[in-house]
Amino acid sequence: MWRTRIWRGAKYYIAYLVIAGFLSGLFGMFFFSELWEMLWRFLFLGLGIPLALGVLWGILGFAPDVFMGAVGLGTAAPIAASLINVIPLWGVVLIIIVYWVILVIMRQIARILWNHKSLRGIFWTLIALDLILLVSQSVIYTQEFPRCTIHVQAGESIQEAIDRAPEGAVICLAAGMYEESVVIQKRLTLRGEGSKYYSEGVEIIGVPDKPIIQVGSDYEIEVRIQDVGVKRNRGSAGPLIQIKGMAEVLLYNVQISNGGKYGVTAKQEYGLAVQDSTKVTLIKCAISGSWAGGLYVEDRARVTLQDSTVSNNGGSGLRVVDAAYITLTNSEVTKNDGSGLYVENWAQVILQDSIVSNNGGDGLRMGDSGQATLTNSKIAANGGNGLYLEDSSRATVEDNHVLNNGKFGIVAWDKEVHLCGANNEMYGNGVDLAAFVPASVRKPLVSQGEKNDIYVPKDIANLQEAIDMVAPGGTISVAPGMFTDGITIWKSLTIRGAGPEETQLIAASSKRQTLISVLAEAKGVKLVGLGISEASQEGAVLIYGEEVMIQNCSLSYNEAPALYIRGSAQVTVLDSSVSDNFAESIVVEGSAELDIQNSTISDNELCGFYISDSAHANLQDCTVSGNKSTGLDIGGSAQVSINKCTISRNREDGLSLRGLTQVSISSSLISDNGEHGISLQNGADAQIRGSRILRNTGYGVGVYLPDCIEHYYSGDKFTGRITGSGNVIPGPDEPDGNQRGAFCPSYPREPWPEGFLAKP
């Protein structure tokens, strides 16, 4: 009778135990990185308690359903013990309730398997799988958590334990605080005995101006540091952890905080030195609080971050230089004052299933010949650009989310940048793409259709969606109203507003971004009847494309250049006003070309035009006046033609010609400027014909030679050429005369050509 009662109480539980053990093992394998530890507790605590209770229930004659409560309680107990240090108490209670429901369901499955002979094959299969799981995880547990060979109590010396430890020793540190500098030059493990989920149990705070932990050897050694906190002692500027030589180091569940210059770095004077051919792996680590950056990797070092966080550092989160190589998987780089990642020289970065967010600078900044691969990651809410590329850097970006970055989602400033990828979801950025970024990397908000005419907001409310949708060559008509989102244009189209006073593109106050970005691959773009204002990043309108026309537009009150024309862009501006901006009004660089007619450039905080490099510009029937700096600042080897224009009342020179620039001025008025009408330096070449240069505070035309220009420097000496004829340039004693003189040096002699002045 007793045997029958015992069996009745235990048989269903045994069946349940087989199923529960198998499913719990699988659950731990896929959802808990500490699988072996949890399974160990589950088998010896969670199953032992309810088994005993189940047998007792059977002896006392209770129905099998009654002891399910004990089964649930006993099984949930070790799970709660494991999770209590990870999640809040209410979360533990919720998990227990859900787990209890699962137990009841599994018990019913167990009854079916036990009572149907045809299904008992499944039962025995599960028993075999349970045994395999138990044996394999026991082996893994033993490998990952080897038995301690040396114990160190708080207050004792870690260094003394290291010195007497044999190769391969496991030094276990009791919970507490250790204040010393530690040097490791042999193969060993340094493990804290505090919580496995926090490194608060063991904290090494170091001594002033010395590395807290130094790992290094001239031969290959493997070192594991686990479950400790490494924290900077106050008033110290030395590194936190330094690794050099041939060491291969695993940092597991290590918190590195309050560093000197860098938390983890490749230089001896910084936080954690990763240099030469050193290999470092960080798993479940946190790096925070270093004033110049979290992680610095150089030389040929190899670093892997997995399930780790780099946050709240004063500079960049990670800086990777030289030929270093770094991989981030399921990690987060966030809230650093500078860029999330800074990659330069020939360094390489792989970012997978990770988050780079809320950094003060760019999410990922790349220069020189740096390389990056980004997949299935989130680049979001960074103060600068999501991804910034320049020089000949290379990047592959696929299946990422690039969202809500303050400037551009992705920008490639140089033609030599190689960028490829697809299916990247992008929205909420200042502007999604800029410069030489191929439009194919961005997933459109809506699919392109066949409609040639789209009305905003009648057909669609969002201007970027309208651009994505319209057929190439189509027209988007925008009704009167205010639009705050930045837009990216990569195909031929016309955006036609109701007039600059009616249809206004105004940067959102929270971002102050570029408003219109015309990519280098764009050709045949027209912007008509728009007001564009209050942008502050890299130009209100940033143009790299060809055959771009701006007509009847007003660009004003921008904190960056109102019109920024770069690369090999070709732009025509007609019947427009560019005024009251707080920076340069129009910037033309690279080999870009600008043709501007019948337009006014006035009252800007800096110069009216800044034209440099090998750019070309043509000004026809324009007014350049009232600017707080020079009217036109022309340098490099730029070529500029000015015809029938008025250049007046600018605070400094009307025109400043530098470098090897070539400028042709004809039939124009240059008057009432705060310094010289025209100043020339270096090898500038000017042809001035049929123009009037009047009432300027300095010289009408002055060159950078001794005794001419007040701020003359030998490097600015004029060596160029001046040609032309038929000009009116009066001196101070003549009507409308220039106050300091008509010329410097005096006329007639070099560099002034014969007939330069009109005959009386």
Predicted pLDDT at 135: 52
Min mean pLDDT across 217-231, 460-474, 495-509 is at 217-231
Predicted pLDDT at 244: 80
Predicted pLDDT at 147: 81
Q: Report pLDDT digits (tens) over 568-585.
A: 999 999 999 999 999 999
Q: What is the mean pLDDT of residues 667-678?
A: 98
Q: What is the mean pLDDT of residues 209-216?
A: 81
How many residues are recorded in the chain? 760
Q: Prior bond to 472 cis, omega within 30? A: no
Q: How far is CA 191 from CA 32, 108, 169, 207, 280, in A?
A: 20, 44, 11, 20, 17
- Average pLDDT of every residue of the chain: 84
Its pTM stands at 0.83
pLDDT band at 38 (very low <50, low <70, confident <90, very high): very low
pLDDT band at 291 (very low <50, low <70, confident <90, very high): confident
Q: Which residues contact 612 (CB under 8 A, 6 or more apart)?
A: 588, 589, 634, 635, 636, 638, 659
Q: In whole angstroms, what is the distance from residue 412 CA to residue 385 CA?
A: 11
Predicted pLDDT at 562: 96
- Quick one: the chain helix, strand, coil %, rounded to 5? 20, 35, 45
Whole-number percent of the chain with pLDDT over 70: 75
Q: What is the mean pLDDT of residues 286-301?
A: 85
Cβ atoms of 351 and 325 within 8 Å: the answer is no
In this predicted structure, the answer to whether residue 605 has a pLDDT above a threshold of 50 is yes
In this predicted structure, the answer to whether residue 37 has a pLDDT above a threshold of 90 is no
Predicted pLDDT at 690: 97
Q: What is the mean pLDDT of residues 146-174?
A: 91
More confident residue, 319 or 242: 319
Min mean pLDDT across 94-98, 203-207, 415-419, 698-702 is at 94-98
Q: In whole angstroms, what is the distance from residue 571 CA to residue 269 CA?
A: 51
Predicted pLDDT at 325: 94
Closest CA to 340 of 378, 302, 382: 382
pLDDT band at 301 (very low <50, low <70, confident <90, very high): confident
Predicted pLDDT at 696: 98
Predicted pLDDT at 13: 52
Partnered with residue 396 across adjacent β-strands are: 373, 420
Predicted pLDDT at 344: 94
Query: What's the per-residue H, E or C state across 674-721?
Result: CCCCEEECCCCEEEEECCEEECCCCEEEEECCCCCCCCCCHHHCCCCE
Predicted pLDDT at 508: 84
Q: In whole angstroms, what is the distance from residue 107 CA to residue 88 CA?
A: 29
Q: In whole angstroms, what is the distance from residue 723 CA to residue 171 CA?
A: 85
Q: What is the mean pLDDT of residues 256-281?
A: 61
End-to-end Cα separation, the chain, in angstroms:
137
Q: Report pLDDT digits (tens) over 529-543.
A: 999 999 987 899 999
Q: Report pLDDT digits (tens) over 731-746.
A: 999 999 999 999 999 8
Q: In whole angstroms, what is the distance from residue 440 CA to residue 422 CA?
A: 6
Q: Report pLDDT digits (tens) over 622-660.
A: 999 999 999 999 999 999 999 999 999 999 999 999 999
Q: What is the mean pLDDT of residues 542-558?
A: 98
Q: Report pLDDT digits (tens) over 476-513.
A: 999 999 999 999 999 999 999 999 999 999 998 766 78
